[in-house]
Amino acid sequence: MFNVEDLKLRRRSWMKIAAIPYNRLGWEFSDCTGVSQENIDSIKEWIDVVEEGKIIRAAGQVSCGLGIVLYGEPGHGKTTLSLVTLQDILRRFPLEAFSPLENKTLVRPCYFMTFTSILDLKGALMEDPSEEERSLFAGILGECQDDAYNIRVLVIDDVGKEQQSGSGWQKTILHHVLRTRFNNGLPTIVTSNIPLEAWGSVYGPATESFAREAFVPIALKSPKGDLRK
Protein backbone atom coordinates (compact mmCIF):
# COMPACT_ATOMS: atom_id res chain seq x y z
CA MET A 1 0.00 0.00 0.00
CA PHE A 2 1.01 3.62 -0.41
CA ASN A 3 0.07 6.65 1.63
CA VAL A 4 -1.98 9.13 -0.39
CA GLU A 5 -0.76 11.95 1.87
CA ASP A 6 2.82 11.29 0.71
CA LEU A 7 1.94 12.20 -2.90
CA LYS A 8 2.66 15.62 -4.33
CA LEU A 9 -0.17 18.12 -4.06
CA ARG A 10 -1.59 17.78 -7.58
CA ARG A 11 -1.59 13.98 -7.56
CA ARG A 12 -2.98 13.91 -4.05
CA SER A 13 -5.86 16.15 -5.08
CA TRP A 14 -6.53 14.03 -8.18
CA MET A 15 -6.68 10.92 -6.01
CA LYS A 16 -9.06 12.49 -3.50
CA ILE A 17 -11.61 13.62 -6.10
CA ALA A 18 -11.57 10.39 -8.13
CA ALA A 19 -14.35 8.94 -5.91
CA ILE A 20 -12.19 5.97 -4.92
CA PRO A 21 -13.82 4.10 -2.00
CA TYR A 22 -11.86 4.46 1.22
CA ASN A 23 -11.50 0.71 1.67
CA ARG A 24 -9.33 0.55 -1.46
CA LEU A 25 -7.59 3.93 -1.23
CA GLY A 26 -3.83 3.42 -1.39
CA TRP A 27 -3.97 -0.08 -2.84
CA GLU A 28 -1.35 -1.30 -5.31
CA PHE A 29 -1.22 -4.37 -7.54
CA SER A 30 0.87 -6.12 -4.90
CA ASP A 31 -2.13 -5.88 -2.55
CA CYS A 32 -4.30 -7.91 -4.95
CA THR A 33 -3.21 -11.24 -3.53
CA GLY A 34 -6.38 -13.06 -4.56
CA VAL A 35 -6.08 -12.14 -8.24
CA SER A 36 -4.12 -14.23 -10.72
CA GLN A 37 -0.82 -12.79 -11.93
CA GLU A 38 -1.97 -13.39 -15.51
CA ASN A 39 -4.89 -10.98 -15.01
CA ILE A 40 -2.65 -8.38 -13.38
CA ASP A 41 -0.12 -8.66 -16.21
CA SER A 42 -2.87 -8.15 -18.82
CA ILE A 43 -3.96 -4.93 -17.13
CA LYS A 44 -0.38 -3.70 -16.76
CA GLU A 45 0.14 -4.23 -20.49
CA TRP A 46 -2.88 -2.02 -21.19
CA ILE A 47 -1.59 0.64 -18.76
CA ASP A 48 1.76 0.65 -20.59
CA VAL A 49 0.01 1.29 -23.91
CA VAL A 50 -1.95 4.15 -22.34
CA GLU A 51 1.24 5.65 -20.92
CA GLU A 52 2.90 5.42 -24.32
CA GLY A 53 0.23 7.77 -25.66
CA LYS A 54 -1.44 5.21 -27.92
CA ILE A 55 -4.93 5.27 -26.39
CA ILE A 56 -5.98 8.60 -24.87
CA ARG A 57 -6.87 10.83 -27.81
CA ALA A 58 -4.39 8.98 -29.98
CA ALA A 59 -5.76 10.38 -33.23
CA GLY A 60 -5.52 8.03 -36.20
CA GLN A 61 -4.38 5.00 -34.19
CA VAL A 62 -6.35 1.76 -34.08
CA SER A 63 -5.95 1.64 -30.29
CA CYS A 64 -7.39 5.14 -29.79
CA GLY A 65 -9.98 5.04 -26.98
CA LEU A 66 -9.44 1.31 -26.32
CA GLY A 67 -10.74 0.34 -22.88
CA ILE A 68 -11.05 -2.80 -20.76
CA VAL A 69 -13.99 -4.97 -19.74
CA LEU A 70 -13.27 -6.92 -16.54
CA TYR A 71 -15.89 -9.65 -16.25
CA GLY A 72 -16.52 -12.67 -14.09
CA GLU A 73 -18.47 -13.95 -11.12
CA PRO A 74 -19.02 -11.75 -8.06
CA GLY A 75 -16.18 -11.55 -5.58
CA HIS A 76 -13.29 -12.30 -7.95
CA GLY A 77 -11.58 -8.89 -7.75
CA LYS A 78 -13.02 -6.91 -10.66
CA THR A 79 -13.80 -3.71 -8.77
CA THR A 80 -10.58 -3.89 -6.77
CA LEU A 81 -8.47 -4.25 -9.91
CA SER A 82 -10.23 -1.34 -11.57
CA LEU A 83 -9.53 0.87 -8.54
CA VAL A 84 -5.89 -0.19 -8.36
CA THR A 85 -5.54 0.57 -12.07
CA LEU A 86 -6.89 4.11 -11.60
CA GLN A 87 -4.56 4.75 -8.69
CA ASP A 88 -1.55 3.40 -10.55
CA ILE A 89 -2.30 5.79 -13.43
CA LEU A 90 -2.85 8.76 -11.13
CA ARG A 91 0.35 8.15 -9.19
CA ARG A 92 2.86 7.78 -11.97
CA PHE A 93 1.63 9.11 -15.30
CA PRO A 94 3.15 12.38 -16.52
CA LEU A 95 0.66 15.15 -17.28
CA GLU A 96 1.38 14.75 -21.01
CA ALA A 97 -0.01 11.21 -20.89
CA PHE A 98 -3.41 12.59 -19.90
CA SER A 99 -3.54 15.38 -22.44
CA PRO A 100 -1.44 16.68 -25.33
CA LEU A 101 -2.60 20.19 -24.46
CA GLU A 102 -0.05 22.49 -22.90
CA ASN A 103 -0.56 24.50 -19.72
CA LYS A 104 -3.68 22.61 -18.73
CA THR A 105 -4.51 21.84 -15.12
CA LEU A 106 -6.68 18.73 -15.25
CA VAL A 107 -9.46 18.80 -12.71
CA ARG A 108 -10.48 15.12 -12.70
CA PRO A 109 -8.20 12.92 -14.87
CA CYS A 110 -9.66 9.65 -13.54
CA TYR A 111 -12.99 8.86 -11.94
CA PHE A 112 -14.88 5.89 -10.47
CA MET A 113 -18.67 5.44 -10.71
CA THR A 114 -21.14 2.60 -10.64
CA PHE A 115 -23.40 2.35 -13.67
CA THR A 116 -26.39 2.91 -11.39
CA SER A 117 -24.85 6.23 -10.29
CA ILE A 118 -24.51 7.29 -13.93
CA LEU A 119 -28.19 6.46 -14.50
CA ASP A 120 -29.12 8.48 -11.41
CA LEU A 121 -27.02 11.39 -12.65
CA LYS A 122 -28.66 11.27 -16.07
CA GLY A 123 -32.06 11.23 -14.37
CA ALA A 124 -31.14 14.31 -12.33
CA LEU A 125 -30.28 16.16 -15.54
CA MET A 126 -33.89 15.80 -16.64
CA GLU A 127 -35.18 17.66 -13.60
CA ASP A 128 -33.37 20.65 -12.06
CA PRO A 129 -29.65 19.84 -12.37
CA SER A 130 -26.90 21.77 -10.64
CA GLU A 131 -23.95 23.13 -12.58
CA GLU A 132 -21.79 20.45 -10.93
CA GLU A 133 -24.11 17.70 -12.22
CA ARG A 134 -24.08 19.12 -15.74
CA SER A 135 -20.30 19.45 -15.70
CA LEU A 136 -19.77 15.93 -14.36
CA PHE A 137 -21.97 14.27 -16.98
CA ALA A 138 -20.39 16.27 -19.78
CA GLY A 139 -16.97 15.28 -18.41
CA ILE A 140 -17.99 11.62 -18.36
CA LEU A 141 -18.84 11.84 -22.05
CA GLY A 142 -15.74 13.90 -22.84
CA GLU A 143 -17.92 16.75 -24.08
CA CYS A 144 -17.29 19.42 -21.44
CA GLN A 145 -16.52 22.78 -23.03
CA ASP A 146 -13.65 23.25 -20.58
CA ASP A 147 -11.42 20.32 -21.54
CA ALA A 148 -9.87 20.22 -18.06
CA TYR A 149 -13.11 18.64 -16.82
CA ASN A 150 -13.18 15.82 -19.38
CA ILE A 151 -12.37 12.54 -17.61
CA ARG A 152 -9.50 10.76 -19.34
CA VAL A 153 -9.95 7.33 -17.74
CA LEU A 154 -13.36 6.38 -16.31
CA VAL A 155 -14.32 3.26 -14.39
CA ILE A 156 -17.96 2.18 -14.75
CA ASP A 157 -18.53 -0.45 -12.07
CA ASP A 158 -21.24 -3.11 -11.82
CA VAL A 159 -22.65 -2.99 -15.34
CA GLY A 160 -25.44 -5.56 -15.32
CA LYS A 161 -26.63 -4.90 -11.78
CA GLU A 162 -28.87 -2.00 -12.78
CA GLN A 163 -32.62 -2.40 -12.78
CA GLN A 164 -33.91 -2.75 -16.32
CA SER A 165 -37.02 -0.90 -17.47
CA GLY A 166 -39.40 -1.90 -20.21
CA SER A 167 -38.35 1.11 -22.26
CA GLY A 168 -34.73 -0.06 -22.48
CA TRP A 169 -33.56 3.37 -21.27
CA GLN A 170 -30.62 1.87 -19.35
CA LYS A 171 -29.37 0.06 -22.46
CA THR A 172 -29.50 3.28 -24.45
CA ILE A 173 -27.55 5.22 -21.83
CA LEU A 174 -24.86 2.54 -21.56
CA HIS A 175 -24.33 2.46 -25.32
CA HIS A 176 -24.35 6.26 -25.53
CA VAL A 177 -21.77 6.74 -22.75
CA LEU A 178 -19.43 4.02 -23.99
CA ARG A 179 -19.68 5.00 -27.66
CA THR A 180 -19.29 8.74 -27.00
CA ARG A 181 -16.22 8.26 -24.84
CA PHE A 182 -14.68 5.93 -27.41
CA ASN A 183 -15.36 8.36 -30.24
CA ASN A 184 -13.72 11.11 -28.17
CA GLY A 185 -10.62 8.96 -27.66
CA LEU A 186 -11.22 8.43 -23.95
CA PRO A 187 -10.87 4.89 -22.55
CA THR A 188 -13.32 3.31 -20.13
CA ILE A 189 -12.80 0.43 -17.71
CA VAL A 190 -16.01 -1.55 -17.26
CA THR A 191 -16.61 -4.19 -14.60
CA SER A 192 -19.46 -6.63 -15.07
CA ASN A 193 -20.73 -10.04 -14.02
CA ILE A 194 -21.93 -10.50 -17.62
CA PRO A 195 -19.46 -12.09 -20.08
CA LEU A 196 -18.87 -10.02 -23.19
CA GLU A 197 -20.34 -12.75 -25.39
CA ALA A 198 -23.64 -12.37 -23.51
CA TRP A 199 -23.89 -8.59 -23.94
CA GLY A 200 -25.91 -9.04 -27.11
CA SER A 201 -28.78 -10.74 -25.28
CA VAL A 202 -28.73 -8.17 -22.45
CA TYR A 203 -27.84 -4.88 -24.18
CA GLY A 204 -28.46 -5.68 -27.82
CA PRO A 205 -26.26 -6.95 -30.67
CA ALA A 206 -25.14 -3.43 -31.64
CA THR A 207 -23.70 -2.80 -28.17
CA GLU A 208 -21.98 -6.18 -28.09
CA SER A 209 -20.48 -5.63 -31.54
CA PHE A 210 -19.25 -2.18 -30.53
CA ALA A 211 -17.83 -3.49 -27.23
CA ARG A 212 -15.76 -6.08 -29.10
CA GLU A 213 -14.16 -3.23 -31.04
CA ALA A 214 -13.73 -0.80 -28.16
CA PHE A 215 -12.60 -3.04 -25.28
CA VAL A 216 -10.03 -5.61 -24.31
CA PRO A 217 -12.01 -8.35 -22.52
CA ILE A 218 -10.34 -9.80 -19.42
CA ALA A 219 -12.06 -12.73 -17.69
CA LEU A 220 -11.33 -12.74 -13.96
CA LYS A 221 -11.40 -15.96 -11.97
CA SER A 222 -9.58 -15.82 -8.66
CA PRO A 223 -7.58 -18.95 -7.78
CA LYS A 224 -8.89 -18.45 -4.23
CA GLY A 225 -12.55 -18.41 -5.32
CA ASP A 226 -14.97 -15.79 -3.98
CA LEU A 227 -12.75 -13.30 -2.15
CA ARG A 228 -15.71 -11.89 -0.21
CA LYS A 229 -16.23 -15.10 1.74
pTM score of the predicted model? 0.93
Asked if residue 226 belongs to a domain, the reply is: no
Asked if residue 138 belongs to a domain, the reply is: yes
Q: How far apart are CA 27 and CA 186, in angstroms?
A: 24
| Predicted pLDDT at 227 | 66
Asked if residue 38 belongs to a domain, the reply is: yes
The per-residue DSSP string of 77-139 comes to SHHHHHHHHHHHHHHH--HHHH-S-SS---S-SEEEEEHHHHHHHHHHHTSS--HHHHHHHHH
Asked if residue 51 belongs to a domain, the reply is: yes
Residue ranges, the chain, pLDDT below 70: 100-104, 165-167, 225-227, 229
Range of the domain at 49: 4-219
The count of domains in the chain is: 1
22 Cβ neighbours under 8 A, 6+ residues apart: none
| Predicted pLDDT at 127 | 87
What's the CATH number where 183 sits?
A: 3.40.50.300
| Predicted pLDDT at 218 | 95
| Predicted pLDDT at 16 | 92
Q: Pick the closest to residue 90 from 188, 7, 213 (CA basis).
A: 7
Q: How far apart are CA 165 and CA 46, in angstroms?
A: 34
Asked if residue 229 belongs to a domain, the reply is: no
| Predicted pLDDT at 20 | 96
